[in-house]
Amino acid sequence: MRVSFSIMTADLLDPLLDASFKGYPRTQAPRARSAVGAAGWNVLAGDLPLPLAVIRREALAHNLAWMQRYVQSQGIDLAPHGKTTMSPQLFARQIDAGAWGITFANVAQLTIGVAAGVRRCLIANQVMQDEDLAGIQQMLAAHDGLRVVFLVDSSAQLALIEVWAAGRPHTRPFEVMLEIGLDGGRTGCRTEEEAIALARALGASAAVRLVGIECYEGLWATGDSAADSALATALMDRVQAVARLCGDEDLFDTDEVLCSAGGSAVFDLVAGRLRPALGRPVRGLLRSGCYVTHDHGFYTRMMGQVNARIGCDCAEDGLRPAMEVWAAVQSCPEPRLAILTAGRRDVSFDITMPIPFARAVRGAQAPTGVPWSWKITALNDQHAYLHWDDSDDALAPVVGERVGLGISHPCTTFDKWRWMPVVDEAYNVVDAITTAF
């Protein structure tokens, strides 16, 4: 008996929001996500409880357009990593802006993306478990025009795929990309010889079709342009050498070869190397994901180097922070210490502490800047410790005041929220997105 599984697309794209969603006003009736923008709420008017993560509409639109223009200038396409947001609404915005498809980290994320309407999908990871292989086949059978490509980096993985497929003779061959890795890194073939041997095995296998080659450089980004450039150049030299050997031996089983790389830190160093000359069409796919909201910390620092390399005016033309977390000052228990109502459950902390950038006293609907010495020094589950220098005592926060926190690394803020309001420049709520982690 055939068992089918489906996720209701309407439930993903336009779910009903209520007070069970952190940040939704408890005094308001449930609303469909699409109706939130008509509610007339303003974040700084106190219409929603804090802490609250918000997305700035204008910065979001700017970032979507900026990255699309960039990949077009390089003659490649964008397959942004969906793990950053896991937001069906943002997947749709990225595709509407021109993205070729969406990248996922695993089959569970793929399932969400397919239910949300994504039809060109990369899994930037190895797939070999029986349930995952069966899930991909089930989705391919259920959705016309769906394409799913995942990574292979070992003969052991290929053997598991072949064993699974051998007992199911009517399944489609899986589309796969050969992954090139670096010593000390994560996945991927470590040597050119290993990669070519695996490519030959993939080319001879009835269970898979070799359609491209892939790598990931972002794990090694340091912010030192000379070091980052040297590493990216060496990695892409290997990628192109393996791709050419695969082309020479006719190992690619596709009319158009996919060549993919690109995190969000040094994507400019690989973008120009994603179309090797192979005697057949090649589609370069950049997988950067964090660009969509950018941040106030790590990626702002890394983009300073990217902007310098590509000749971009950061102040006018670069990516802009589009995500903020607002919290309230709940206590000032000792000199030069304020406790805020946001903690590890609300904001990312895996790279740096949150960054105070704005304040709004109780009753004010327009934020102002904060003293340079304001720093978040620690987080508990639900609390942030804000300290400042004694020279800024005259500008100390007060209980009830609101503080805007910038983030460092958007991925690990998105996964802490089931929904986020989208706000205009005056912090009026104009839309909302949801997440499905």
pLDDT at 3: 41
What is the average per-residue pLDDT within 256-274? 95
Is the CATH number of domain 75-289 3.30.1150.10? no
What is the average per-residue pLDDT within 68-94? 97
Q: Please report which confidence band the pLDDT of residue 266 belongs to, taking 50, 70 and 90 as the band edges.
A: very high
Q: Mapping DSSP to helix (H, G, I), strand (E, B) and coil, where does residue 358 land?
A: strand
Which burial class, exposed, middle or buried, applies to 334 when counting CB atoms under 10 A from its CB (0-12, 13-18, 19+)? exposed
pLDDT digits (tens, 9 = 90+) for 18-64: 999 999 999 999 999 999 999 999 999 999 999 999 999 999 999 99
Q: Measured in Å, how far apart are the chain's first and last C-alpha atoms?
A: 30
Sign of CA dihedral 302, 126, 141, 201: positive
pLDDT at 220: 84
CB 423 within 8 A of CB 57: yes
Backbone angles phi, psi at 73, to 5 degrees: -65, -25
Please report, to the nearest 10 degrees, the dihedral formed by the alpha carbons of residues 199, 201, 204, 207 taken in order: -100
pLDDT at 6: 61
Residue 4 has pLDDT above 60, yes or no: no
Q: Count how many residues are written for the chain.
A: 437
C-alpha separations of 323 from 295, 351, 368, 426, 429 in Å: 7, 16, 17, 15, 14
Residue 391, H or E segment: none
DSSP state of 170: T
Please report, to the nearest 10 degrees, the dihedral formed by the alpha carbons of residues 289, 294, 298, 300 taken in order: 130
pLDDT digits (tens, 9 = 90+) for 205-241: 999 999 999 999 988 889 899 999 999 999 999 999 9
Same fold flag, 1-59+294-436 and 75-289: no
Most confident of 184-188, 299-303, 331-335: 331-335
Least Cα distance to 82 among 54, 108, 60, 62 occurs for 108
Contacts of 218 (CB under 8 A, 6+ apart): 262, 263, 264, 265, 266, 267
Q: Where are the domains of the chain?
A: 1-59+294-436, 75-289
CATH C-level class of 1-59+294-436? mainly beta
pLDDT at 316: 62
